[in-house]
Amino acid sequence: MKILADAHIPYLKGAIEHFGEVEYLPGNRFTKETVKDKDVLIVRTVTHFGEEILAGSSVKLICSATIGYDHIDTHYCDTHGIAWRTAPGCNAGSVEQYVTASLLILAEKKGFDLRKKTIGIVGVGNVGSKVESACKKLGMQVLLNDPPREEREGNADNMFVDLETIKNESDIITLHTPLTKTGKHKTWHLVDEDFFNELDKKPILINSCRGSVTDTQAWKKAIKKGLVSGSVIDCWENEPHIDTELLEMADIATPHVAGYSADGKWTATKMTLENLCDFFHFDIDPVKLMPPVPPPPNPIIDLKGVSPEKQTLCAVLHTYDPLKETKELKKSPDKFYYFRSHYPLRREYNAYTVINADPTVADLLKQMGFTV
C-alpha cells in the first residue's frame, strides 16, 4: 500500500510506516502528479482535494487529521469511490484554551469582568460544547445557537436560541461552526454586513472555526464603524494570503493555530490511524505505535505573589499566550504558512501543576483541568 502523508502532521512518523510504503511532502505540495499512484492520503487543510487533484488517481482513502472537511470535495469522493475520514473533536480542548486565553486577555486589556458578560456561542458541536463549559466555569452567561442540532434534538428545555437573540444580547460572540457553502444551514459568510449592522451591544467577535464563515470586507467595515468592540481572528479568508488591513485591526490575530496543541495533534493522529485501521480492517492498536506527548518545558505554575484577581489569567497565559503569535504575524504576514507549519505545539492545562493559588482560584483552575 502506498501512502502520501503531510510532513507536518506530528506523531505520525514511525507509526504510519507499519501500514505501507510512505512518502512525506509538505501539504502545499500535494498535486495531481504526487498523489496519482497513492492508495491513501494523510492530509491537513492546506490543499483542496477534488477532481483537479484526484481524477485518474489510485486513491482509495483520504484521512484528514482535522475536525473540518471543507478542504475535501466530498461529493466528488462519494461519487468516485474514494472514502474520506476526519478526526472530529480532536482539538476541542486546544480551541477552548485559545478562546479562554483570548477572553482573559481582552477582559484585562479592556477592563471588564467576564462574570458580568454574556457570550453567544454559534455552533455547539465538540468544540462549541467545550467552550460552553469553560465559559460557565468563568461565571459567564452563555447563549447557544446551533440550528442543525436544534432540528435533530429539539429545544424542549430552551437550550438553543436563534441568531437574532445572539445578535441582540451577546457582549461576545464566538464562532464554532463548520464551513458549508450550500443548504438550509449554510455558514459561508454567515457573519456578513447585515449581521454586523444588526448587532445591538457592539460585541467582541471571535473566529476560530473557518475563515469564510465571516466576510472579511464586512468585518473591516464593522470595525471602522464601531459596530464591534474587539476582534479575535485565528481563521482567515484566503489563507495564507490574508487581509493585512484586517490583521492590523484585530486585537488578537493568529495563523490558524487555535487547535494546535500537542494533545490535540496527538489525538488527531491517533484518530487518523484508527480510521486507516478501520477502513482496511487492520487489527492494530495505533496507541502502541505512537510516542507519548512530551511534557512542557515549565510544568509548574507558581502563583505566589500574584494577586488573586490575576491568578487565573497568569495560569492560563503560562500555558498559552496568543499575543506572542499576534506580534509575529503582524510583523510578517507573508510568513503565515511558515508560522503555521513550524508552530511549537503547546500543552493543554492537564500538563501543568499550579501551586500557591488562592483557594477560590485553585478550585476554578482544578475545574478547568489543571493539577492543583
List the one residue out of 4, 41, 38 whose CA is nearest residue 24: 4
Cα dihedral sign, 234-235-239-242: negative
Q: Angle 175-180-183 (CA atoms, 0-180°, nearest 5)?
A: 120
340, three cell numbers: 503555521
8 A C-beta contact, residue 42 and residue 9: yes
Q: What is the distance between the alpha carbons of residues 346 and 54, in angstroms, rounded to a whole number?
A: 34
Does 240 sit behind a cis peptide bond, omega within 30 degrees of 0 on the bond before it? yes
Contact (CB, 8 A) for 297 and 265: no
Q: Is 238 buried (19+), middle (13-18) or exposed (0-12) by CB count in 10 A? A: exposed
Candidate list 150, 193, 239, 328, residue with the active-site label: 239
> With DSSP H G I counted as helix, E B as strand and the rest as coil, what are the percentages for the chain, rounded to 5?
40, 15, 40
HSE (side-chain half, CA atoms, 13 Å) at 77? 21
Catalytic, 318? Answer no
Torsion from C-alpha of 157, 163, 168, 169, nearest 10 degrees: 40
Among residues 44, 149, 176, 256, which one is catalytic? 256
CB 251 within 8 A of CB 232: yes
Mapped onto helix, strand or coil, the DSSP state of residue 232 is: strand
DSSP 79-133: HTT-EEE--TTTTHHHHHHHHHHHHHHHHHHHT--GGG-EEEEE--SHHHHHHHH
**Active-site hit among 210, 318, 346, 347:** 210
Task: Give the other-Cβ count within 10 Å of 329's Cβ.
Answer: 24
Residue 90 vs residues 37, 215, 262, 348: alpha-carbon distances, Å: 29, 27, 11, 13
Question: For this structure, is 115 an active site residue?
Answer: no
CA–CA distance, 209 with 175 (Å, rounded to integer): 6
Active-site annotation, residues:
210, 239, 256
